[in-house]
Amino acid sequence: MAKRIQVVLNQDVRKLGRNGDLVEVAPGYARNFLIPQGMAVRTTPGVLKQVERRREKERQRLLELKQEAESVKKALETIGLFTVQKPVGEKEAIFGTVTAADVAEVIQSTAGKEVDRREITLPDINKLGDYRVDVKLHPEVTVTINLRVAAE
């Protein structure tokens, strides 16, 4: 059986790896397809150092994003209560429902923090009252805020 060689991918290759990954492939696949197409380069000590530097930069970037999400979480927790005002009908029933876009808009206006509406998980809100809403700020950072639905 043929020996396998290591290459570093220059771009994403389906079913093989992502840009910057160090992968082992058959020598013919590397020599005849990946390297001529510019999809990969052979591993050398210099290339391995570049890959390591690139991984370290990516790790630092992800760490900064997480720290930013933590600071937004602290800001939202210190505010404590967000209020959405909706028109009310009989028996404290509101017209329509409170949507994630409404919650994102209230957070933006109150805290001055940008929150993606797709990352907001809220229960069905059809009446006035207090509710708990989960906001995912980062894959590892989630904050629960208190939301009060009040009459206009």
pLDDT tens-digit map of 49-101: 988 898 899 899 999 999 999 998 998 889 889 999 989 888 888 888 899 99
Could you give the domains of the chain? 5-63 (3.40.5.10), 65-151 (3.10.430.100)
State how far the Cα of 130 lies from the Cα of 132, in Å rounded to an integer.
Answer: 7
Q: Rounded to the nearest 5°, which phi and psi values hold at 70?
A: -65, -40
State how far the Cα of 97 lies from the Cα of 99, in Å rounded to an integer.
Answer: 6
pLDDT tens-digit map of 28-40: 999 999 999 999 9
Question: What mean pLDDT is predicted for residues 1-29?
Answer: 90
In the structure, how many helices (H) and strands (E) does the chain have? 3, 7
Q: What is the predicted pLDDT for the residue at 2?
A: 65
Question: How high does pLDDT run on average in the chain?
Answer: 90
The DSSP H or E segment spanning 22 is strand 22-25
